[in-house]
Amino acid sequence: RIPNPHIHIPIPVRPTTALTFNTMAAAAPAPVAQKFVDANPYKWPYNGNLKPENTALIIIDMQTDFCGVGGYVDKMGYDISLTRKPIEPIRKVLEVMRKEGYHIMHTREGHRP
């Protein structure tokens, strides 16, 4: 059984028992390289904090039934050129994100018999 994704389950956090402070002057933090995706109407993310530790690529329902020759949409007689149009751009993004170490998630629709 798949849990309801809309139910919030609190995760217990272990409280900190002691704090220590460094009284010496801290060095200035190293500048963080900003990465953006050139998007419209503005670049994304807003703060340039695009990195594998906080970003994942989620690809939804890019499967034969929706965009493949011989799939459900094709067999129903619909023009699949529109659903196939994002395949090449997605492929390019996947190549870059895999090379950079980002998490990649694919979903697919499925039905039990």
Per-residue pLDDT of the chain (113 residues; tens, 9 = 90+): 444 444 444 444 444 444 444 445 555 555 667 787 788 888 878 888 889 999 999 999 888 999 999 999 999 999 999 999 999 999 999 999 999 999 999 998 877 88
Question: How many whole angstroms separate alpha carbon 39 and alpha carbon 98?
Answer: 20
> So what's the pLDDT on residue 27?
59
Which candidate, 35, 46, 29, places its Cα nearest to that of 100? 35
pLDDT of residue 49: 87
